[in-house]
Homo-oligomer: A and B are copies of this chain.
Amino acid sequence: MADEAVQAEYIAVKALENGVTIIGLTRGRDTKFHHTEKLDKGEVMIAQFTEHTSAIKIRGRAEVYTKFGVITTSI
């Protein structure tokens, strides 16, 4: 494992409804969905960028905590 990986940045997502989806997209030549995590209302997930994930997509009503502040998905 790359030594720096444990120090990668993380984001946090708080689900505001059931079924919020957090989708990890693959790093590398191809950008594909490689993991989907479902959150129920009120659950919090904290996730780092990794060797395998360089992009994250959030669907459903949620608060996304980033270095730019809190971004509320709006549906």
Which of A's residues lie within 8 Å of B, judged by CB? 1-12, 14, 24-25, 27-31, 34-35, 37, 39-52, 54-59, 61-71, 73-75
Contacts and interface: CB of A to CB of B under 8 A. Distances in A.
A8 B11 contact: no
A6 to B, nearest CB: 4
Contacts of A66: 10, 12, 46, 65, 68
A75 B71 CA distance: 20
Given A8-B49, A12-B64, A65-B71, 9 more contacts: A1-B2, A4-B7, A8-B54, A28-B51, A28-B52, A42-B73, A42-B75, A44-B58, A65-B68
A3 B3 contact: yes
